[in-house]
Structure formats: C-alpha cells, structure tokens
Structure 1
Amino acid sequence: MHINFLLYTWYHSLAKCIYEHVSEETITITTYFYFCYFPIYINMAESFVFDIANSLLGKLASYAYEEVSRVYGVYKDLQEIKDTLLIVNGLLLDAECKKDQKQGLREWMRQIKNICSDAEDVFDGFEFQHKRKQVAEASNSTRAKVRHFFSSSNSLVFRPMMARQIKEIRERLDKVAADGTKFGLAKIDIGTEFVLQRRELTHSHVDVSSVIGRENDREEIIKLLRQPHGRGDGDGDRSLCVIPIVGIGGLGKTTLAKLVFNDKRMDEVFQLKMWACISHLDDFDIKLIIIKIINAASASIFTPASAALSFTLAHKENINNLDIEQLQSRLRHELSGKKFLLVLDDIWNDDRAKWIELIDLIKVGATGSHIIVTTRSNSIASMTGTLPSYVLKGLSQDDCLSLFVKWAFKEDEVIKYPDLVEIGKEIVKKCAGIPLAVKTLGSSLFSKYDLNKWIFVRDSEIWNIEQRRDDILPALKLSYDQMPSYLRQCFVYFSLYPKDYTFFRNDITRLWVALRLVQSRNGSEQLMDIAREYIDELNSRSFLQDFKILGYFGTFKVHDLIHDLARYVAKNECVALDSLTKNIPECVRHLSVVEYNSIDTALFPKSRNLRTILFPIKGKGLDKRTLLDTWISRYKYLRYLDLRYSSFETLPNSFSKLKHLRFLDLSYNIKITRLSHSICKLHNLQVLKLTGCVELETLPQWLGGLISLRELFITTKQSIMPLTLFAKLNNLQVLVFYKCDNMKFLFNDTQQLTSIETLIVESCGSLESLPLFIFPKLQTLVVSECQMVNLSLCNEIPIQKLMMNHLYIARFTGFLTIPSWIEGVVDTLETLQISGLPDLMTLPECLTTMTRLKRLWISGCPKLASLPRDFHHLTTLKHLYIYDCPELYLKCQPESGEYWSIIARMTTTSIEILQRVGVTKSSTLKVKYNIL
C-alpha cells in the first residue's frame, strides 16, 4: 500500500510538472489521467463499465423502447432514468481512472453494471408484452383475445407492475449517482472517445544492432523512396509521395520507420529529414503538428545533438506564440524547394479534411519529397497514402527465437541452458511473429533459470502474465481504448470462441444484434448492415486477419494476441468453458462450450444472469435433455441460445418462458421430428435456424407468431411450402432452404413476399421451380445444387426490374450459359460468383455493362474458354478470382496469355488466377497479380 502511494505521488507530480511547464503541447485530460494513474504493472480490469452504461443509453433512446414507454404511460420515467444515467456515465470516466486508488470504487462500478443489465431486462420485458399484445390483437381467434385480456399482459394489470419496476431502477440509479459524489468523483463530459491511456511520444533514434528480422522490410521501403517519382498526392501534384506502413500494435512499424530514417543512404537522397510523433494529438491539431515539423526541420540542420537540442528549445519558445498564419509561413519557408523526408509516426485520426489541409501546407518541397506514415488503421493508410500501403508482416519463427534469446538471456549464457531454449521455441509460437510480444515474454524470463517458471510462461495465456507499461498487452489495449464505445462492446465477444477459429461474418454479427449491441442511427438502417460495418471497421483497425469478403458472405480470423486481449477485457463477463475450467463465476453473462467433454452440470452458475449459451465447435452439441430443462427454467433472460448438433427428438413446451430470446439455433439436430408450438410464442425471436434437421416433419402451424423474425433457415420433409406460413412474417428478410429433399414447389401461391432480401436455396434436389417474382425486393440470391430447377424460367412472370446486389450460382450440371434474366441486374449487381458448373461454355456479353460489379468469382468451370469482349470495361471491379478453369488459366498468363493485355489494362486491385495441379487443392499452383 505504501509503495502504491509513493508511485501514485510520483506519477501525480510528474504529470503536474508536465501539465504546467510543457507549454508547446496541449496535454489532454486523457494524457493527464494516463500519467497520473496508469500503474507500472497493469492488473486484470473489469469490463469497461462506461461502455455498458453507454450502450444502455443508446437502447433507451431507441424507437422500440420509446414506443413502448409511450403506450404504457411511462415515457417521463424513462427520460428521468436516461438523465440520471448520463450523470452516472460521466462519473464512470473518472472512476475508471481512480478505481485503484479509492477503496470501494470497484464495488460501486459493479453495482452500476448490474443495474444497467437489470434495466435492460425490465425494458425488454415490456417490449415483449407489447409484441404479445400486437399478436393477440392481430389474431382472428376470439379465444386468444380473451386469454390476453385475462392475462398479466393486459395493460390495466401490466402498467402498475411496469411502473413499480421502473421506480425501483430509478431509485437504484439515484443512489449510485449520490454515492459517486461521496467518492469525490468529477463528472467528465468528453463524449464516447474517452480513452484511458496514450502511447508515449516516439523519437527517431534506433540501435540498429538490436533490431532483428526487418532487413528486407527496410530495403523494400528504401527502394520505394529511391525509385523514380511517378505518383503524387492523388490530386495531381507530383512533388510529394506518401508511403503508409500499417499493421497491428507491437509489430514494429515505428522501428521500421526508424531503420529507414537513420539509414545513411537517406542522407544522400534527402536534403532534410524530419521526425514527428503525433499519436497523442486526438484531434489532429494542425497548429501543433506544424510546430513539431518546424522544430524537426530546425533540429535536422545541426549535427551535434546538444546544439540541436539547445536550438530547438529556444526555437520552440520563439514559435509557440505565433498564430497559424505566421506558422504556416515559417513552415513553407523551411520546406520550400528542399527534397525532404518526413516521418509522421502513429496516426490515429481519420479526418480527411484535416489531412488534406496539412498536405496542402507542406507540399512545397522539391520533387521526390516523401512522407512515411505509420498507423494501425487500414482506412487511415488508405486516406493518407499515394502509394499502396506497406502491410507489415510478423517475424519468422527463427527471427522470433533470436529476438527472444536476446531478451531472455545475458550475452553468452544461452549455451548453458539448452533445455530452456527448447521451451523458448514453444513460447515464441504464441507470439505469432509480433516482436513486442517476443520482447515481453523474453524480458519476463530474463535471468530466471528455474525450469518451472519457463513452463508457466509457456502454458499461460499472455493476459495472465505480468505486464509492464510498455509490454504487448498494454500496447494492444491502446488500440482497444481508441475504439468507439460501440466497437469495444462488440469486441469482447471474440473471447467466447477458441483460438484460430474461422469466424463467419454473419454469425458473429447475429450475436451482436441479438444482444442489442447494434443500434440503428436513424431508425431505418438494417441492424445486420450496421453490424457488418462494425466488422469492416475492426478489420480496418488491424484487429482481424485472413479477412475474405465475397459480397453477402465473409470469413476472418482473430490473431491469437487479439484473442488474449478480448479475454483480458471481458474477464468474468464472458467465459469459454474448456477442460481446464474449474468453476464459472456467478456474475458471468455469456458462456460458450469450446470443449464438449468439459460440460459439467455442476459448473453452470445458479444465478439468472446468463444471456448467451454458445457451442462454437462443429459437430459438438448438447445431448442432455435434463440440462436443457434446467437452462430454460433458470436462465429466463437468455438472448442467444445455440443448440447446434444437439440430440433431441422434441423440444420442451417450456421454451415459451424464454421471452427475451432473440436467437435460437437448432441446426444439425438429426433426431428432431417436430417443433413445439411454444416456440411460436417467442415474439422477440429474430433468428431461427433449422438447417440440417433432416427428420423434421413440418414447420409449426402458428409460425406467424414470430413477429420479430428476420432470418429463417429451414430443413424439412414437407413437399410444398404454404405461403400462408410466411404471410404474417412482415420483418422476415433472410429465407434459407437447405436439403429440403421432398420440396417440389417453393410456394403454392403467387402472392409476393415483399420483405425478403436474401434467398438461399441449396441442395433441394426435387425442386422444380424458383419463382423470383415472389420476391420483388430480393438483393441476394444463392442457388446451389438444385439439379431439377431450370434457372432460365426463374422469372416467368416479368417484373419491372430486378434489384439484386449479389448472385451466387453453384454446382449445376448441364448448365451451358448464364440465364438471360441476368440482364435485368446489370445496373445493381456488385457480386457474381459462378462455381462448379462443369458444362458452362460462355459468360454473358452483358457482363461488361455491369456498372457496379466489384467482385467476380469463377471456379470449377473447365469448359469455359473465353472472356467477353470489352472485359476491361469493368472499371468498378476490385477483385477477380479464377480457379480451376484451365483454359482461362493459360490465356491469362503474364505476357504470353491471349487475355493478358486485357488484364493489364484493368484497374482491378486484386486478380488471382489459380489452377489445380494434380488431384488435391493443396497442390494448387497459384499466380496472383496485383494491378495498381
């Protein structure tokens, strides 16, 4: 305690000194907190409670909550809760910084988290009752209306109960708000971009001998800097090139920039070299950046370090009080006519207008001047770069081991401990090529020769190993802290999945939507579309890897260290159950089973807090009906229930108790023969997946009770799908039929389903017709392995225009050409995938008139030997993928191929030509072109 107090006093004094005396920099409140309160060793932190409270604020402001509150006359109470929560939210920002210094603050924050969760349960319950009332009123059954009148859902009965629950929530919030002031917390109103830490300022010096494995990267960047100047800033000016270096935190972007900056060859190329770290400038303050560049330019003139430092400090005092007009004049004077190299290290801000403003001020140098930008964000790299981003990769295993040995052993000691080196080889594997992770683990073992300590590090998650401020976990957490609140909320759920898991984009986004982590910004946007934008943003911030998107579909993985970060942040909020799990905390809200043999009934918490139960491992599900009964009776607040690959013949009638449930996955339950009608009482259910339930006789008659249903996946033995089953599902957007072997006709009526946007029909071998006119708003169509369907007749009754964005046609024999109705989508189609069509001989000529086509995927078409004329007219095409089409493969070869001249003229950024050699795909010969 005494040591912590001394550390706190020392940090506080340092911060005060910096805050009062470093006048040339604006010290933000976040920087002040960082210096004051960030401990030398970081501890396991609670979930960022501010994000949870902020998320509830968004939900309380949603149309659904406001509508229900007005109907039941409690709108004023709802607003009062929002006002109090806003106050509490402001106090939470201060509490996050002081929780290690003030006893009782952690408990106070835990109470707020519980209140927010309870409030969400209360309001979700009200929303459910409102939907239940709507279903009863829409029913033609007098019995149903009478039953509703005498039930607790009757507003005369329900309103007083609702008022009592709201009053309890409001009183609990008022109390914690009052308690917050007792702790001396200050209300901080700086919006959702508040962060707890900042990276320290960087400098340009580097000890080259300490850097391992970046020689090739250095040479590649230097090659770019020395090549003839061909491209400018993107606006017609060829005097300035910008090279972005992008990658995950801890990868060594700054180190690489230093290696290039200090290379003696750069002194021969550039008259002026400048280094400016701007990571701490949240708002990309142009004035402060100009001051930094002027100071760097002035310091670059002097060789002796002392003279440069003396001049720079004096110069700072002279220019600090200049206004922006005087500063820009001084800047242009310093740079004008000189060929310069400027490094802008660690850019976080993505305000393009400010970036252009800065570039306009500094593009006065001589032709050949360059800027190197380092950033963790792909979108910032794209915004700043005039050349393609240099995407920094991880180190090789050999380089990682060399670096690890350098940090773990004293010089010449490594030969004494061959056993430790062998364990070290296993330790560096978990670092996945990230130099900072290697350094972190190596440093933690420096001069420790106890075999057990090395084994502990090898077998532990990185987030369980003590970390200093400059180690890998704080470096990665900085990226997490920089994310907006809505992304931080979503990010933690990666911890529910095992490492090296292949995520399907639509699966993780469904989880986020089910947990109401996604809010429409204007009330009209589709939640899944917003969630997919979240995925794109996480990828842009270098959190994802192996990111592959093909229109509606997409997959990715999460780096092992990012997975560790997610587990670190989630703590007890999310638990992945495996064979090492000895107990599950009562406060857990989201649970996954990543090792099937680890299921132990006694482990599951008795509290009713659980919101998510997930089985992410293929082929492993629940086979204990008694455990399912326990879950249903105990966890009444479940939002997401994944029962894939389970073994039940029927489902319990008690399912209707799960009134908060939004996602139910029963896929690949090969024993289930019928569904309980109680499922149709789940009025909040948004996604129902019955994929691969091959013994399911029929769908429930009262399916229309699922008034919130957005996605329905069906496998059934029915031969005809009555349209009346779907007529009342006004919110249904995604409809999937898979292995409906007996189904000959999709629907027995010509009535249109105007809400359907995505239709997937796969492996329905008896299906004869696919009437697209029933789906006038169809945007995505997937038809695969339905041999009896004549796709040429899919649009028998003409409609004015097809609105399709994504079209996938796969695994058809006897398919000679693409249906002519594709001409109706030339103005809208963005994705076209054609695969597994062994008899396809030609592509439609209208393909070259598709004005929005971005992705074209052709695979498994061995007889396809030609591309349409004017193929290079596809100016919007970004990705072209051709696989296992031997004729096209030969004709697309560089220089020698018939179509090479066409491909070379295309503006497509990525072209992949792959051809199978031998039998297996693993022996594929791959040729990849990047046309820029």
Structure 2
Amino acid sequence: MAESFLFSIADSLVAKLASDTFQEAFRLVGLYDNLRHFRKTLSLVKAVLLDAQQKQDHNHELREWLTQLKNIFLDAEDVLDEFECETLRNKVVKGHGSTKDKVSHFFSTSNPLLFRYQMVQQIKDISNRLDKIASDRHKFVLQIIDVDTRVVHRRDMTHSRVSDLDVIGRKNDKQKIIELLMQQNPNDDDTSLSVIPIVGIGGLGKTTLAKFVFNDNKIRECFPLRMWVCVSDEFDIKQLIIKIINSASDLASADAPSRQHKWKTLDLEQLQNQLTNKLFGQKFLLVLDDVWNENRVKWVELRNLIQLSAAGSKILVTTRSHSIASMMGTLPSHNLEGLSEEDSLSLFVKWAFKEGEEEKHPHLINLGRQIVKKCRGVPLAVRTLGSLLFSKFEASEWEYVSHNEIWNLPQKNDDILPALKLSYDLLPSYLRQCFALFSLYPKDYVFNSYEMTSLWGALGLIALPEKNRTLEYVTNQYLDELQSRSFLQDFVKFGTTYKFRIHDLVHDLALFVSKDECVHLSSNIKYIPDNVRHLSFAESNLFGNLFTKKLVALRTILFPEVLNTCLSKFKYLRVLDLRSSTIETLPRNFSKLKHLRYLDLGYNDNIKRLPESICKLQSLQVLKLDGCMELEALPKKLRKLISLRYFNFSTRQSVFPNKEIASLGSLEIMSIKSCHNVESIFGGVKFPALKTLNVFDCPSLKSLSLDSQNFPQLETLFVGGCGNLDLQLWKSHHEKESPKLKLKVVAFSRLSQLVALPEWLQEAANSLQYLLVLDCPNIETFPEWLTTLTGLKALRLIDCPNLVSLPDNIDHLTALESLKIGSCPKLCKKYQPHVGELWSKISHIKIIMIDELEEPEEL
C-alpha cells in the first residue's frame, strides 16, 4: 500500500531538481546534463503514477513495478539530501569554522574531489535504474494524469463537547444507562461496586454514548467525583492507577509531563496509597473507556484497589468484547446496536449538507439511502462518508461512493475498513503519507500539532510554506483537512496549537495503508519487512530484533535505547526519538547521522553532558532536551546548528549561552523547562525569527527580558510554574516610533506573583487573539484597559479563586467569541448564565462556559 505515496514523492523530487540550488550544485560537479535527463524521465513516470495507483489492486506486475519505482525514488531522495548536507556543512565551515576546521574539512570524507566522484557515481547509477524501469510503463497502458485533482471540501470546525444536538439516535440508550447508574447498589451494600458495560462493535459510538452520559446534569449532581480513563490495548495496573489519580485530581495539567515522570518513580504500593487517598469516602463515577483486557486476574486486582468508595459508586465500561463485559460487569451489559436506517440517514445528511441544503437535492437523498445501508448503522462510517461528500452535488460522485468495488475488499465481520479506505483513497497525495505515520503511535495517543510539524517536517512531507507562513501553519492546514474528513476526533484548538486523537478504526486504517512502510513494533509482531522506512517501539527491549535486519534505508526510529546500532546501520535516519530512555551518553561520532533532522533526548535522567559533535548535525531541525534534569550544560557551538527551528531544553546552568542560541537564525520555537537555577533570561539578546516561546517550571527565574525590539516576530508566549517571576519587570516601549508586540497567544499558569495583568500586554492591543490565565491565586481584578485588546477572540480564566470581576465595559470586546470561566467561584456567581447580576455584560458572546469545563485546561 505504500506505493500510494509515490505521486507526492515524485512531485517533491521534481520540485527539488528544478530549484536553483540543485541546478547550481549539479553544474559544479559536472552533472547538469544528467540532471536534465533524470528530471525528464522522472516527469514522464510521474505523469502515469496516479492511474497506476488506481489500477494496482488487480495487477500484481503493476504493483511490483511501483515497488521498484519507490525504491529508486527514495534512493534519489537520499542522494539529493547528501548534496543538501554538504551545502550546509560548507556554509558552517565558511561562516563559523576556524582554520583548523577548514583544513580538517578538506581532508575528511567530504573532500570536494572525493565527494564529487561519489556523487557522480550515485547519480548515474540511479539515473540508469530509472531509465530501465521507466521504459516498462508502456506495457501497462497507463493514462497520463498530470495533476492530482482530489480536493478537500472544508466544513466548519465543531467543538469536542457532546451535546444533545450532536448525537443522533442515542437518546434511549442514554436514558437506560442513566437509570442503571442512578439506581441503588444491590442490597444497598456500601462495599459493592456496580460495573456497567457498554458493548458494541468498533465505530458504533460507545465512547460518544459514555460522554453523553458522563456530561448529563443528573450524573453531575449524583456523582461528586467523575473520572474518565482511556484504557485501550494495554491493561497495565500501574499506568491505570496513575491515570485514575490524575483524573481524580483538581490540579491543572500544565505540569503533566513532570507529574507523570514523578508517578513513574513510585512503586505500586505507594501509588495504591495515593489512589486510596483520592477515592476514600467519595461517591464516584469512573469511566473505563475502550477495554481490551481479557485477563481476569488483572481486572480483579484493579477492582479491589478502587473498591473503597461510598455507597452508590459506579464504573461504566466500554468494550468491543462480550467476554470482557461478562468478566467485568456486575449488571447486565448494555448492548449497543447500530443506528436505524432513518437515524443513519439523518446523521449522514447532517455531515453531507449544510443545514437546510438537502431540501434542494432530493435525488441525492435517495442515493444517500443506498450509501448508508452499506455502513450497517455504524455512526463512524456514516459520518466519514457524509464528510467525504460534503458540498458535492454531482450524482456521479455519489454513485461512485455507492458502487465502488472497494466495498468488496476482504474484511472481518465487525470491520468498517472499506468505508474508511474509500475516504483515504480520495485524500490528496500530500496528505496520504502524513496520515500513514499515525500508525507509528499507539491507539488513543494524544497528538499535538507541534509534534506533527516536527515529524512531518523532518521527513520532508510538508510543502514549503509561502512567504510569511510557517511550517506550523501548513501543518495546521493539513490537520484541518484531515479533520474535515472526520479522520480526527477530540479535536481542540488553542491559539495556533491543535490537540487531537484518532478513532481506533482510523488507526486500523493507518496500519492497513502503511504496511511494509511503517511498523509499530510490539511483542506480537514477529516480522519486520525489509523495505520498512519508519519504526517505532512499544517496548525498548524489542530493539534487539533489528540486529538481524539490514534496513539500511530506515528513515525513522521512535523510542529505542541502543545507539551504536543506529550509527553503524541506519545512516539515512531523519528522525530519532530516544525520549525517556536510560542512555547515559551519546557516542562522540554521533555526527555520522548527518541526515538527522529530528532528535528527541527528553526526560533522560542519566545524561549529564552532550558531545560537541551533536553541533555538527547541520540538517537538524528539531532538538528536544526537556526533562534532562541532570544536564549540566547545553552543548557548545550551538550556533553551528543552522537549520534548527525548534529547540526544547532543560539544564542545570544558571546562565544560558545567550549569544550561541541567538545565533540560531532559523529558530522559530523555543521551550525552556525546569531550569531550576536560572534567574534571568535573554537580557539584551535579539531573536529575529522566534515566533513561540514557552517558559515552564523555572522556580528561581525573576526576570524575563523580552521586548519588541529583541523579539520582533514573537506571536505565542506561554509562561507557567515560575513562582518568583515578576512579569511587570518586562518594560514596554511607549514611544510612538517604537515597534509594538505582535503577540497573538498568551498564557499564564501557576504564577503566584501575578496580581494583575502586566502593563506591557497593552502593546499587543491590535494583535492578541487568545488569553489564558490559569491557577493564579493572587490575581483579583482585570484592568479596564483589557477592553483595548480589540482583536481578542478567546478568554479563559481557570482556577483563580480571588478573581472578583471583569472590566465593566467588557461588552466592548466585540471580537470575543469564547469565554470560559472555571473554578473562579466569585466570578462564576456574578456571570452565571441568565441569573448572574452581570450576565448581561457577556451574554453577547457566542460560546460561554461557566464552571463546566470537561477536563483541566492544558498549556
């Protein structure tokens, strides 16, 4: 299935070969004629790829031809990357190198004469291979399709909260579950714990129904403590206890990574004590979502740990398995059935048309009836195909979905893969491989847009942004498109950051389309395809399976611990994730991984120093060192990382190498976390390209010198957990001729010194769109100048118990679309919908949530 990525790979290669950079590079090594010939042949092959991909399912020889092409294309990418690496290396030696550096560079393996000879041989070899394979295209009678015409029809973004209007055909199910939850425990036994399973096939909406119940007002009143835990594939007792403790906590989750790290250091008995303290005497509802565990011993062990509640506590379980439901349930299971045909059609219409639009197209409604029959009442399939046909009004497009032979692909009885595969087949080429990489992560993984930018960008899957646009902007466009096709769920946006999950059936689809290309290695996988390009590991001890494999072309490794193998075997690595591993040092010859663009060493407690050779990775775009609590100092000569655009770090240093960091001309995102000894940051140093700055958990930090002259492009600022920081020390420039801040997103969290919003925010009056104040106990009022922030779209005030009022003229903020107030009792009372004395001041705002947040806010 990986051959479905070929068109986008070919497109990328053609664009590179046409660029001025490569034209000049090939002239210098005497390969310009070879370049023109190679590009011409590549263009001829590219022209028939889309047709070939559509016909490959029924033609084994054609699939083989595409596989050979894929190998040639990827080898070509590696050779072109060699040119880019050498160009960057020459740039560093010329701009930052000493005489010694220049001499050693001449006598290294990158000597210009030797490099030219090697490149000539490789280019000629690849060109000859492509000529031979390209000549075979004629025997397949392929049509020329030069442009990928598949387009995504956008729909308005929806909120992740489940309301009555969002759920179709489940009111009776909801009522039955609520009745079971509200009834007395059998025999009114204080020690008994009722367990109610919801059972049904994947995609039926078990989780949606559970959320529907979980957020009902009757349930809120009946259960003072409500907890939601996603269980998924693994039923690890320790991890489940941690999840339950976190869900039961009222703590803000901005410090979630460090808190998770803390829980991992506790033994099981210590965690059990924590759990007992959280649950004892509480009447609670615990949702265990998506349970797969069939080991009764594990379930009984967990049940015994949480059976400490007040009378009436309940557990609601969602699972696909009737045997699991029987094992766990104390009450009869609620068997979730498929939607009726009419409810399926209603849901389909909701996603295929704008409201009222269906009345203009009765002939399409008849076709829609045929389509929803194929979905077998599964809401996910109905919604996916409805989204696929959104704003498409040609009957032929609807007939294509209804009659397409993909429905006849082999599948399990409880599988809806064909419905999802059809949507995948109609994705634009540039989204296909991006989507396939979701398969490298476990089910129910919480993705964020920064992470996807780093991964997709490192693998060259993001189109180069237009002027004044960033890679993050393009990534968010991609995610918007995937969201519009219903591939993503629990989609939350704050400022420029997205968080989301993918449904487990969508994860199955990603596994299906990426087989032989991407592998998430777990203990039940015995075979690693020879041509695999991207690997991740469920467990670090599985890394030994690689020693018997060649896998020279591997591009991605996520979560291993063995480095020497990486250096000796995987020289074309683009992505290496060693997060939370136990490594102590990096090899001195780490710079051999010269293609590396993404390196994550975060949360390694054993690392004290990093070799200077890490700064020879001129292609590196992402470097994560956060949570490295024993790291004594950042590596020297950081300025040589001329491609670095995302830098995330922790260090014991009290003074940062400011000039080295400021020399990183491509740096756009920087996160400073848990730097416990630093007192001042970036005094007088200019960061001309930095757009995002995060500063978390720096308890000694007193000043943060960030003015508009030194940070002219700064758009996003998150500051949290810095108890001694006085934000008022940031001096603003009031002179008319001084540049103003361009901040769009600002979040303050866990700042005990914050008693009022800092005055310098006024500089961003024309640009600020999102403002979050979270867990700031000493802030009491908001200034009247808040209403000068004329572009403000979202205001979130969470866990500020002494905050008593908003500005009197807050109704002047006409751009404000969303206001969320939670755990601010004095404020909530005044602005309570319809009954609060100041409700009229905010009633014009489109989205208002007062003390009803589903879960703690995150930074």
Could you tell me which of 776, 792, 795 is aligned with 2:712? 776
Partner in structure 2 of residue 725 of structure 1: 660
Partner in structure 2 of residue 809 of structure 1: 748
Partner in structure 2 of residue 121 of structure 1: 78
Say whether 1:214 aligns with 2:169: yes
Counterparts of 1:220-619 in structure 2, within 5 Å, are: 256=343, 258=345, 275-277=362-364, 465-466=411-412, 472-522=416-466, 525-596=469-540, 598-602=542-546, 605-615=549-559
Counterparts of 1:611-630 in structure 2, within 5 Å, are: 611-615=555-559, 622=561, 627-630=562-565
Contact 2:2–2:517 (Cα < 8 Å) also in 1:
no
Residue 524 of structure 1, CA deviation: 5.7
Contact 2:577–2:601 (Cα < 8 Å) also in 1:
yes
* Partners of 2:451 and 2:82 in 1: CA distance: 25
* Partners of 1:502 and 1:177 in 2: CA distance: 42
**Structure 1 gap ranges (5+):** 1-43, 196-211, 219-247, 263-268, 279-295, 297-341, 348-372, 385-435, 437-442, 445-462, 616-620, 927-932
Contact 2:717–2:747 (Cα < 8 Å) also in 1:
yes
Partner in structure 1 of residue 701 of structure 2: 767
Could you tell me which of 43, 48, 54 is aligned with 2:11? 54
Letter in 2 for 1:187: Q
User: 1:564 and 1:712, CA in 2 relative to 1: closer, same or farther beyond 3 A?
Assistant: same
* Partners of 2:564 and 2:742 in 1: CA distance: 45
Letter in 1 for 2:716: T
Say whether 1:186 aligns with 2:142: yes
User: 1:535 and 1:147, CA in 2 relative to 1: closer, same or farther beyond 3 A?
Assistant: same
**Structure 2 gap ranges (5+):** 152-166, 174-207, 209-336, 350-355, 373-381, 394-401
Residue 472 of structure 1, CA deviation: 2.2
Partner in structure 2 of residue 683 of structure 1: 618
* Partners of 1:574 and 1:261 in 2: CA distance: 33
Secondary structure in structure 1 of the residue aligned to 2:609: coil
User: 1:136 and 1:82, CA in 2 relative to 1: closer, same or farther beyond 3 A?
Assistant: same
Could you tell me which of 855, 858, 861 is aligned with 2:800? 861
Q: Which of 639-648 and 775-784 deviates more?
A: 775-784
Residue 600 of structure 1, CA deviation: 3.3
Partner in structure 1 of residue 271 of structure 2: none
Partner in structure 2 of residue 94 of structure 1: 51
Secondary structure in structure 2 of the residue aligned to 1:591: strand
Secondary structure in structure 2 of the residue aligned to 1:641: strand
* Partners of 1:808 and 1:132 in 2: CA distance: 38
State, as a whole percentage, how many aligned pairs show the same letter: 44
Partner in structure 1 of residue 329 of structure 2: none
Residues 208-243 of structure 1: CA distance to partner in whole angstroms, max 9, x if unpaired? xxxx9838699xxxxxxxxxxxxxxxxxxxxxxxxx
Partner in structure 2 of residue 913 of structure 1: 850
* Partners of 1:758 and 1:59 in 2: CA distance: 29
Partner in structure 2 of residue 208 of structure 1: none
* Partners of 2:512 and 2:122 in 1: CA distance: 34
* Partners of 2:595 and 2:692 in 1: CA distance: 25
Partner in structure 1 of residue 242 of structure 2: none
Residue 521 of structure 1, CA deviation: 5.0
Residues 260-298 of structure 1: CA distance to partner in whole angstroms, max 9, x if unpaired? 999xxxxxx99x9862239xxxxxxxxxxxxxxxxx9xx
Say whether 1:838 aligns with 2:773: no
Q: Which of 825-834 and 588-597 deviates more?
A: 588-597
Partner in structure 2 of residue 890 of structure 1: 829
* Partners of 2:347 and 2:60 in 1: CA distance: 49
Contact 1:771–1:796 (Cα < 8 Å) also in 2:
no
User: 1:541 and 1:54, CA in 2 relative to 1: closer, same or farther beyond 3 A?
Assistant: same
Partner in structure 2 of residue 336 of structure 1: none
Letter in 1 for 2:703: S
Partner in structure 1 of residue 297 of structure 2: none
* TM-score where L is the length of structure 2: 0.69
* Partners of 1:650 and 1:532 in 2: CA distance: 35
* Partners of 2:57 and 2:470 in 1: CA distance: 41
Residue 667 of structure 1, CA deviation: 0.3
Contact 2:476–2:498 (Cα < 8 Å) also in 1:
no
Residue 720 of structure 1, CA deviation: 0.8
Residues 409-453 of structure 1: CA distance to partner in whole angstroms, max 9, x if unpaired? xxxxxxxxxxxxxxxxxxxxxxxxxxx9xxxxxx99xxxxxxxxx
User: 1:261 and 1:485, CA in 2 relative to 1: closer, same or farther beyond 3 A?
Assistant: closer
* Partners of 1:791 and 1:653 in 2: CA distance: 41
Partner in structure 2 of residue 738 of structure 1: 673
Could you tell me which of 41, 63, 67 is aligned with 1:84? 41
* Partners of 2:75 and 2:618 in 1: CA distance: 20
* Partners of 1:721 and 1:606 in 2: CA distance: 42
* Partners of 1:637 and 1:261 in 2: CA distance: 46
User: 1:913 and 1:77, CA in 2 relative to 1: closer, same or farther beyond 3 A?
Assistant: farther
Could you tell me which of 40, 47, 67 is aligned with 1:110? 67
User: 1:111 and 1:852, CA in 2 relative to 1: closer, same or farther beyond 3 A?
Assistant: same
Secondary structure in structure 2 of the residue aligned to 1:556: strand
Contact 1:881–1:912 (Cα < 8 Å) also in 2:
yes
Contact 1:689–1:713 (Cα < 8 Å) also in 2:
yes
Contact 2:741–2:763 (Cα < 8 Å) also in 1:
yes
Residue 575 of structure 1, CA deviation: 0.3
* Partners of 2:694 and 2:785 in 1: CA distance: 24
User: 1:467 and 1:186, CA in 2 relative to 1: closer, same or farther beyond 3 A?
Assistant: farther
* Partners of 1:780 and 1:517 in 2: CA distance: 25
Say whether 1:694 aligns with 2:629: yes
Secondary structure in structure 2 of the residue aligned to 1:761: strand
Residue 130 of structure 1, CA deviation: 0.6
CA RMSD of aligned residues (A): 3.8
Residue 153 of structure 1, CA deviation: 3.0
Residues 166-201 of structure 1: CA distance to partner in whole angstroms, max 9, x if unpaired? 2222221111110111x2332322511369xxxxxx
Say whether 1:658 aligns with 2:613: no
User: 1:512 and 1:66, CA in 2 relative to 1: closer, same or farther beyond 3 A?
Assistant: farther
Contact 2:727–2:754 (Cα < 8 Å) also in 1:
no
Say whether 1:138 aligns with 2:74: no
User: 1:533 and 1:70, CA in 2 relative to 1: closer, same or farther beyond 3 A?
Assistant: farther
* Partners of 2:598 and 2:497 in 1: CA distance: 19
Could you tell me which of 813, 836, 839 is aligned with 1:874? 813
Letter in 2 for 1:472: I
Residue 152 of structure 1, CA deviation: 4.0
User: 1:843 and 1:767, CA in 2 relative to 1: closer, same or farther beyond 3 A?
Assistant: same
Contact 2:384–2:423 (Cα < 8 Å) also in 1:
no
User: 1:835 and 1:103, CA in 2 relative to 1: closer, same or farther beyond 3 A?
Assistant: closer
Runs of at least 4 residues off by over 6 Å: 250-254, 259-262, 342-347, 377-384
Secondary structure in structure 2 of the residue aligned to 1:772: coil
Q: Which of 634-643 and 481-490 deviates more?
A: 481-490
Contact 1:779–1:805 (Cα < 8 Å) also in 2:
yes
* Partners of 2:600 and 2:347 in 1: CA distance: 53
Letter in 2 for 1:581: I
Residues 723-755 of structure 1: CA distance to partner in whole angstroms, max 9, x if unpaired? 2212431111112211111112223x5241212
Letter in 1 for 2:67: R
* Partners of 1:564 and 1:866 in 2: CA distance: 49
* Partners of 2:551 and 2:360 in 1: CA distance: 62
Partner in structure 2 of residue 795 of structure 1: 731
Residue 862 of structure 1, CA deviation: 0.7
Letter in 1 for 2:622: V
* Partners of 2:468 and 2:763 in 1: CA distance: 27
* Partners of 1:129 and 1:688 in 2: CA distance: 20
Partner in structure 1 of residue 252 of structure 2: none
